[in-house]
Amino acid sequence: MLARIHGFGINGIEAYPVTIEVDVARGLPSMQIVGLPDSAIRESKERVRSAIKNAGFDFPCGRITVNLSPADTKKEGPAFDLPIAFGILAAAEKIVFPELARFAFLGELSLSGKILPAAGALPAALACANRALRGLIVPQGNSKESALAGTVPIFPFGSLTEAVNFLTEPNDTRAFQPAPEEATESLEEQLDLAEVKGQTHAKRGLEVAAAGGHNILLIGPPGGGKTMLARRMPTILPPMAMEEALEVTRIYSVSRTCGRALDTLARERPLRSPHHTASHIALVGGGTDPKPGEVTLAHNGILFLDELPEFSRRTLESLRQPMEDHFVTVARAARTLRFPSRFMLVAAMNPCPCGHLMNSGRKCRCAPADIARYMGRISGPLLERIDLHLQVPALTARELSSAPDGESSAVVRERTAKARARQSERFKHSKVFANAQMASGHLKKFCALAPEGRRLLNEAIDTLGLSARVHDKLLKIARTISDLAGSENIRVEHLAEAIGYRCLDKTSI
């Protein structure tokens, strides 16, 4: 007999429907899986065989053929174990499943018959939209994650026996209803911008960057507070919209390397901080079996690169296209994957190899050639793509001994949220979430300058030798500053402040 089961494969961060066809025929006992399965799927025949027997069911003695359709698309991962097992039981006619065709399946099987969590449960649940399905059967460990989609009833089970008992009488079990989320300590409650002493100019720059989604580079001697400021950047970012939160959670669902349990919808913007020894593939994604990189795991959040010049040149240059296009395309001979990468780059670096070029209390020991070589590790095109360059000088003894007196993250976050609300209203008919994502058409429409502002910008471009890209970035930064001020128009003081955030465009640090 032939049985057909609904399942899902993962392509990038999207799920696509896969039909699992199982045929049990007369012949020597064997099991063959076709349809471009990977090693994990080919090994599933041993897991499925043991799981069925240890769950108390008879494994058919005959020639078993499993086809994963569409057959010309590569299938990956152990999430096909559960649908293959049900296909074998249905095709062997050992058990009658009245409504098998109205359910979809996702889950890995252990040898004992337990159903283990699998990657991609949320994308699979989202892919159930507009499909005539009665429910999605998932492992218990994926129940809350799958329910976030809200597209189809979720039926989680911990073992193959429980799932079989349900499908023999599907009306006896109610769909999963997630419990209310429990309050947990957020990052904002753990870290606070008010804890940073001094650095008023840098704090203001962080606020501007958070309000407009701009990339930012912090430059200063060791111990000035660069890392401390960067770690508190997420606490002043506005909350994610529902669409952004679903995108982040879907990426977490596909990539199990992010170290996050998917019990609830992602509420906090991600903060990724890879070590400077990370390869370019680890940063942008790819590999023989393409997986999302750090730029994708930081989608709608922050990618923090500490000690920026210590990253390899190839790794840094690989950031240029994701920063410009907000996505990464990984092309292989058989398929092409596209991963989103709309992130804020927050980078930190010393001004020279010894780190004390900007430290008035200690003398720099570096020769001019060493400083030039050190700064040359970061290319001009990459620096152009970083909107704000902020100096973070060493703290004085008075600042170190004084009590923190700056604004809290909650106060700053309220202002950035209001600025983002203005931007959401401005771009409500487009897919732009923040000023940093504006295209040239948006600049003409929303960043018009008065004559005195145009004269100031032209003078800055001629004096500093700025490129067309930096010209556009200055307009975007000025637009963000005016949003923070509640102004409909970009004033001269807004543009002057924006120009002041480009310290590396000047002749010296």
What pLDDT digit, counting tens, does each position of 269-321 carry? 899 999 999 999 999 988 777 888 999 999 999 999 999 999 999 999 999 99
CA atoms within 13 A on the CB side of 219: 22
Query: Percentage of the chain surpassing pLDDT 90?
Result: 56
Strand partners, 195: none
What CA–CA distance (Å, rounded) separates 366 from 108?
58
CATH 3.40.50.300 residue ranges of the chain are 187-434
With beta carbons less than 8 A apart as the criterion, state whether 88 and 49 touch.
Answer: no
What CA–CA distance (Å, rounded) separates 4 from 347?
52
With beta carbons less than 8 A apart as the criterion, state whether 379 and 316 touch.
Answer: yes
pLDDT at 397 over 90: no
The closest of 363, 355, 352, 370 to 221, measured between CA atoms, is: 355
Domain covering 187-434: architecture: 3-Layer(aba) Sandwich (3.40)
Give pLDDT, residue 260. Answer: 47
DSSP H/E element including 217: strand 216-219
The tens digit of pLDDT for each residue in 253-266 reads 888 654 444 566 77
With beta carbons less than 8 A apart as the criterion, state whether 79 and 119 touch.
Answer: yes
User: Residue type for 97, please?
Assistant: F
Residue position matching structure tokens 């004559």: 451
With beta carbons less than 8 A apart as the criterion, state whether 199 and 224 touch.
Answer: yes
With beta carbons less than 8 A apart as the criterion, state whether 268 and 277 touch.
Answer: no
| Residue 190 pLDDT grade (very low, low, confident, very high; cuts 50, 70, 90) | confident
pLDDT at 482 over 50: yes
Q: Out of 65-74, 150-159, 186-195, 259-268, pick the least confident.
A: 259-268
Mean pLDDT calculated for residue range 362-377: 89
With beta carbons less than 8 A apart as the criterion, state whether 265 and 245 touch.
Answer: yes
Give pLDDT, residue 70. Answer: 93
Residues 6+ apart with CB under 8 A from 403: none
Mean pLDDT calculated for residue range 413-441: 90
Tokens of 308: 């920026």
Residues 6+ apart with CB under 8 A from 463: none
Give pLDDT, residue 181. Answer: 56
Greatest CA separation found in the chain? Answer: 87
What CA–CA distance (Å, rounded) separates 214 from 488?
20
Give pLDDT, residue 130. Answer: 85
User: Residue type for 372, please?
Assistant: A
Order of strands, sheet of 271-272, starting from the edge strand that comes earlier in the sequence = 271-272, 302-305, 344-349, 216-219, 388-391
Mean pLDDT calculated for residue range 445-460: 92
pLDDT at 231 over 70: yes
Give pLDDT, residue 433. Answer: 83
Residue position matching structure tokens 């000047």: 506
170 compared with 508, residue with greater pLDDT: 170
Indicate the SS3 state at residue 36: coil
What is this structure's pTM? Answer: 0.83
Strand partners, 449: 490
Cα-Cα-Cα-Cα dihedral sign, residues 458, 460, 464, 469: negative
Give pLDDT, residue 493. Answer: 94
With beta carbons less than 8 A apart as the criterion, state whether 60 and 88 touch.
Answer: yes
What CA–CA distance (Å, rounded) separates 224 from 446?
37
Report the interhelical angle of 492-500 vs 451-464 (nearest 10°): 20
Mean pLDDT calculated for residue range 487-493: 93
Give pLDDT, residue 508. Answer: 46
Q: What angle do CA 99, 262, 179 make, to 5 degrees?
A: 70
Query: Percentage of the chain surpassing pLDDT 70?
Result: 94
Q: Are strands 154-157 and 336-340 parallel, antiparallel or unpaired?
A: unpaired
Give pLDDT, residue 506. Answer: 57
Give pLDDT, residue 186. Answer: 52
Q: Are strands 63-69 and 30-34 parallel, antiparallel or unpaired?
A: parallel
Give pLDDT, residue 407. Answer: 87
Q: What is the DSSP letter of 6?
A: E
What CA–CA distance (Å, rounded) separates 40 from 45?
10
SS (H, E, C) 293-361: CHHHHCCCCEEEECCHHHCCHHHHHCCHHHHHHCEEEEECCCCEEEEECCCEEEEEECCCCCCCCCCCC
Give pLDDT, residue 386. Answer: 93
With beta carbons less than 8 A apart as the criterion, state whether 9 and 106 touch.
Answer: no
Domain spanning 2-172 has what CATH number?
3.30.230.10
Mean pLDDT calculated for residue range 171-196: 69
What CA–CA distance (Å, rounded) separates 123 from 16?
9
With beta carbons less than 8 A apart as the criterion, state whether 89 and 81 touch.
Answer: no
Mean pLDDT calculated for residue range 30-57: 94
With beta carbons less than 8 A apart as the criterion, state whether 266 and 184 touch.
Answer: no
Q: What angle do CA 121, 124, 125 make, to 5 degrees?
A: 85
What's the distance, CA 440 to chain centroid? 26
CATH 3.30.230.10 residue ranges of the chain are 2-172
Q: Are strands 108-109 and 103-105 parallel, antiparallel or unpaired?
A: unpaired
Mean confidence (pLDDT) of the chain: 88
| Residue 179 pLDDT grade (very low, low, confident, very high; cuts 50, 70, 90) | low
pLDDT at 128 over 50: yes
With beta carbons less than 8 A apart as the criterion, state whether 361 and 394 touch.
Answer: yes
What CA–CA distance (Å, rounded) separates 460 from 191?
37
Whether the bond into 322 is cis, omega within 30 of 0: no
pLDDT at 7 over 90: yes
pLDDT at 188 over 60: no
Mean pLDDT calculated for residue range 202-213: 94
Give pLDDT, residue 215. Answer: 95
